[in-house]
Amino acid sequence: MIVVTQKEASREIISEALNLLNQRGLEARAVAWKNQTLLVTHRNPASADMDQLKKTGIIERLVHPTLKAQLASREFQTETSVVKVRNASIGAGKLVIIAGPCSVEGREQLLGVARVAKQVGASMLRGGVFKPRTSPYEFQGLGEAGLRFLAEAREETGLPVITEVLEPEKVDLVSKYADMLQIGARNMQNFSLLKAVGKSKTPILLKRGMMATIDEWLQAAEYILLEGNPDVVLCERGIRTFEKATRNTLDLTAVPVLRKQTHLPILVDPSHATGSRDLVAPMAKAAVTAGADGLMIEIHPSPETALSDPHQQLDLKEFASLMEELEPVARAVGRQLR
């Protein structure tokens, strides 16, 4: 149950109402949500409890979501959220294309990519600086130096930047440079990290775990929302299946499934999902048709020499072509691209 309290309700009276609920064993918590306070519990109050609660006079609205991820549910918020990342707005109708290299490898590489991305119509710049790699022997990213390059690329191009954060104690550092924090697939159920980014004010891109159900994914988002950060965007990036012709199996149907269940905006990452450069364009277009609010695409000035994911990054010309091809597809489903 979510109790949306009235904006004018005083701290004291809200705190009293919270105590009331908790004395009845409802394990409620107060969540600062935009300019209001929510009281949230996963238990069903008895009608006597509800009567008491109503008497406090703080209730603006009561919601009883059936979805376990209550704050993420459309039952709580019917219209799709718009997540603002500086000058970009995810979920607002216009497609948001996030482009950039898998890893930030150096200043020149990143600036070169950023300029092209800007020029052909991307809305945001991505680039990994803390890289979660299967093997400890693989390139682990440039760290803080990479963050500075991202900030510089933003200065020059005006593109908001997003990068992955791997541990709670790095959330502040990364937030200083980045406009959006990515939680990667492997960390989708790193609950300490989810709580940490939930406490920040920076928007979050939450990638789907490669073996996570849609239900678990929404509950992972709920960890962030419950800490008071409403700016969560979901990103489908393929799940692990028996099929090995592609790196992962892109579960595009997740887009319309999520659309019904949640108000959170939904992106698709065809680069990680397919793992193969020549599959990115068709699946990017299909993702838009399936209803995604945008795409995250890996691009690199010379993919074959990339320090990570060399097979799946588009070169800059391929990306420019893809943007051309996306235009009519976006229009066909009533979306704007640039």
DSSP helix, strand, coil percent of the chain (3-state; round to 5) = 40, 20, 40
Q: For its own copies, which stretch binds (CB under 8 A), given 7-15, 105-113, 270-278, 298-306?
A: 270-278
In the complex, what is the shortest distance from the CB of residue 136 to its own copies, in angstroms, rounded to a whole number? 5
Interface with its own copies: number of residues (CB under 8 A): 68
Complex with its own copies: residue 154 or 247, whichever CB lies closer = 247
Q: In the window 143-172, what residues touch its own copies (CB under 8 A)?
A: 166-169
In the complex, what is the shortest distance from the CB of residue 323 to its own copies, in angstroms, rounded to a whole number? 14
In the complex, what is the shortest distance from the CB of residue 234 to its own copies, in angstroms, rounded to a whole number? 14
Q: Which residues on neighbouring strands pair with residue 30, listed in sequence order?
A: 39
In the complex, what is the shortest distance from the CB of residue 159 to its own copies, in angstroms, rounded to a whole number? 26
Work out whether 295 is an interface residue with its own copies (CB under 8 A).
Answer: no
Q: Which of 263, 202, 274 is nearest to 237 (CA)?
A: 274
* HEC assignment per residue over 67-121: CCCCCCECCCCCCCCCEEECCEEECCCECEEEEECCECCCHHHHHHHHHHHHHHC
Burial of 56 (0-12, 13-18, 19+ CB in 10 A): middle
Residue type at 62 in one-letter notation = L
Work out whether 243 is an interface residue with its own copies (CB under 8 A).
Answer: yes
Complex with its own copies: residue 136 or 201, whichever CB lies closer = 136
Work out whether 251 is an interface residue with its own copies (CB under 8 A).
Answer: yes
Give the residue, chosen from 34, 331, 336, 338, that forms a contact with its own copies under the rule CB under 8 A: 331
Burial of 76 (0-12, 13-18, 19+ CB in 10 A): buried
Distance CA 45, CA 123 (A): 45
Q: Residue 284: phi, psi to the nearest 5? A: -65, -45
Mark residues 176-215: x for contact with its own copies by CB under 8 A, - for none.
Answer: ----------xx-xxxxx---------------xxx-xxx
In the complex, what is the shortest distance from the CB of residue 126 to its own copies, in angstroms, rounded to a whole number? 20
Q: Residue 239: phi, psi to the nearest 5? A: -115, 165
Task: List interacting residues with its own copies (CB under 8 A).
Answer: 27, 42, 68-69, 132-137, 166-169, 186-187, 189-193, 209-211, 213-216, 219, 222-223, 226, 239-246, 249-257, 260, 273-274, 278-279, 282-283, 285-291, 328-329, 331-333
